[in-house]
């Protein structure tokens, strides 16, 4: 449990994305707004020591047509080795509808190669809402964006712009995907939503893939989407509420501060402290809080990690050099940071993480000239506990008294899922039992909608 913040975000943006073919079976080759539809592999996966293992295969989609079965280990996609689910999502993400897909798999003690014509990912559909796919011009290519507008929405209805978690996965997904359910439940209460794919993800076409993107370039993509929502989609800033989930909660105030100022900013499951301090406490306390691990032992482990964390996030040295400095460093990098032996840790490249660590998060909230809502879920041990959310609100209210609000959401995990009380989740984790009982907590939408509907007119907030 020591890497929950990262793993929760990776699961949300990675494993759900690889299983994004779970939805309707009406997939067909489609081109929407100058981007050919990305293919759907149609599997759910889990990491194993041998590679990504298939746990579920969706009928009529690419993997099923190729003869993939649950239990198969996918070794490569079109010749690209896939040692982890992250690598498999990235390799499968290169497939477009109609492409030839060649997969090498291990089944039992043997290996074989199978092929199929890649099928398109189903387009999202939300009852009572228009789901409009578009594109945002960005440097050398285009990013896919999705605007959901309730059909019965009042003129000037608010639009929530989602800034997703850190992982390289699509913001689209099956009906059980938390981001889809967020958009669906917002539409049901008359609020629109907007999502943008990261570089190279979903239908996006860019020369730089997500795994090669640093923090600054990723921010440029989000900023381009914010401008496109205003100028091309015609949604004025006084209707936009930026919502940052997980790492998105660090990025949301940076977008808002750059302007024009939105109507409001909401965050869920995020961090305020600088990144290396957050990581240090993650190693020290998360296992204790979430699964009753021995806190003294965890503290000693965290102390051992302190010099390594400093080297990783605050210096310019390469990961290979760090690994060679000390006999224990390579083992620590591989076991605690999922190091690939090159430039990737925790599913992103080193430059990305150093960009995160360089951010002055308190200054970003100082410069966010909009009302703020910070929500912490009771079972969100990925964010460790509620302290950063409460402090965030205190910081904003120091600079703009009365404009920030803290809310506690009972029985909710990092991925918006319904879990249980902290004590019940801790006991379940300790016993190795499942803790999630539903993929989305509708109380989150109610909490967000109530705050949005109570926002004063923009001129009353002191923003122009």
Delimit the domains of the chain by residue range: 4-117, 129-273+359-461, 275-357
Q: What is the mean pLDDT of residues 456-462?
A: 58
- 246, 226, 244, 238: which is closest to 262 by C-alpha? 238
For the stretch 79-120, pLDDT in tens is: 999 999 888 988 888 899 999 999 999 999 999 999 999 999
Asked if residue 335 has pLDDT above 80, the reply is yes
In the three-class reduction of DSSP (H, G, I as helix; E, B as strand; rest coil), residue 38 is classed as: strand
Q: Read off the pLDDT band of 458 (50, 70, 90).
A: low
What is the model's pTM? 0.87
d(C-alpha 303, C-alpha 280), whole Å: 8
End-to-end CA distance of the chain: 44
Output the average pLDDT for the chain.
Answer: 90
Torsion from C-alpha of 404, 410, 415, 416, nearest 10 degrees? -80
Q: Which residue has the higher pLDDT, 313 or 460?
A: 313
pLDDT value at position 33?
53
Q: Mention the CATH class of domain 4-117.
A: mainly beta
Q: Strand pairing of 51-57 and 43-48?
A: antiparallel
54 forms beta bridges with: 45
Identify the CA nearest to 20 among candidates 132, 167, 170: 170
State the pLDDT confidence band at 15, using cuts at 50, 70 and 90: very low
Position 32 confidence tier, pLDDT thresholds 50, 70, 90: low
DSSP-derived pairing of the beta strands 192-196 and 141-150 = antiparallel
174 φ, ψ (degrees, to nearest 5): -70, 175
Name residue, tokens 């099928």: 119
Dist CA 113 CA 66 (whole Å): 9
4-117 and 129-273+359-461: same fold?
no
Dmax (CA) of the chain: 68
Q: Mean pLDDT across the stretch 430-458?
A: 93
Q: Which CATH number fits domain 129-273+359-461: 2.30.40.10, 1.10.10.410, 3.40.50.1820, 3.30.70.1060?
A: 3.40.50.1820
Residue 192: its pLDDT value, please? 98
pLDDT in tens, 378-399: 999 999 999 999 999 999 999 9
Which pLDDT score, from 0 to 100, does residue 13 have?
Answer: 30
């Amino acid at each position: 449990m020591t890497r929950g913040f990262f793993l929760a975000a990776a699961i949300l943006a990675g494993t759900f994305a690889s299983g994004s073919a779970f939805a309707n079976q009406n997939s067909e080759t489609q081109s929407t707004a100058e981007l050919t539809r990305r293919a759907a592999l149609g599997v759910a996966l889990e990491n194993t020591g041998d590679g990504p293992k298939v746990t579920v295969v969706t009928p009529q989609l690419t993997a099923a047509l190729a003869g993939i079965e649950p239990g198969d280990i996918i070794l490569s996609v079109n010749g690209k080795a896939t040692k982890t689910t992250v690598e498999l999502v990235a390799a499968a993400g290169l497939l477009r509808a109609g492409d030839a897909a060649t997969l090498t798999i291990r089944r039992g003690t043997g290996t074989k190669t199978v092929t199929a014509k890649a099928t398109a990912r189903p387009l999202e559909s939300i009852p009572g809402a228009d789901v409009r796919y578009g594109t945002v011009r960005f440097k050398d290519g285009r990013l896919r964006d999705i605007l959901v507008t309730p059909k019965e929405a009042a003129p000037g209805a608010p639009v929530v712009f989602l800034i997703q978690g850190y992982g390289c996965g699509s913001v689209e997904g099956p009906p059980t995907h938390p981001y889809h359910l967020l958009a669906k439940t917002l539409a049901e209460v008359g609020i629109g939503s907007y999502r943008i794919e990261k570089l190279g993800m979903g239908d996006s076409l860019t020369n730089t893939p997500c795994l090669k993107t640093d923090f600054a370039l990723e921010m440029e993509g989000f900023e381009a989407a914010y401008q496109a929502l205003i100028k091309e989609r015609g949604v004025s800033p006084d209707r936009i509420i930026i919502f940052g989930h997980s790492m998105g909660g660090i990025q949301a105030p940076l977008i808002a501060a750059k302007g024009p100022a939105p109507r409001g900013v909401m965050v869920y499951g995020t961090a305020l402290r600088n990144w290396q301090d957050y990581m240090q406490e993650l190693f020290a306390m998360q296992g204790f809080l979430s699964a009753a691990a021995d806190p003294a032992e965890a503290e000693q482990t965290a102390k051992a990690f302190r010099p390594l964390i400093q080297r990783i996030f605050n210096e310019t040295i390469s990961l290979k050099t760090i690994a060679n400095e000390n006999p224990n460093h390579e083992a620590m990098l591989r076991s605690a940071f999922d190091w690939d032996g090159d430039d990737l840790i925790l599913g992103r490249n080193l430059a990305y993480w150093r960009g995160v660590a360089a951010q002055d998060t308190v200054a970003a909230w100082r410069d966010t000239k909009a009302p703020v809502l910070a929500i912490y879920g009771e079972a969100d041990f990925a964010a460790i506990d509620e302290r950063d959310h409460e402090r965030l609100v205190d910081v904003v209210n120091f600079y703009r008294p009365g404009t920030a609000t803290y809310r506690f959401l009972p029985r909710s995990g990092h991925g918006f899922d319904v879990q249980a009380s902290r004590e019940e989740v801790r006991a379940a984790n300790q016993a190795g039992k499942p803790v999630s009982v539903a993929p989305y907590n509708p109380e989150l939408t109610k909490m967000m909608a109530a705050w949005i509907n109570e926002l004063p007119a923009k001129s009353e907030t002191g923003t122009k």
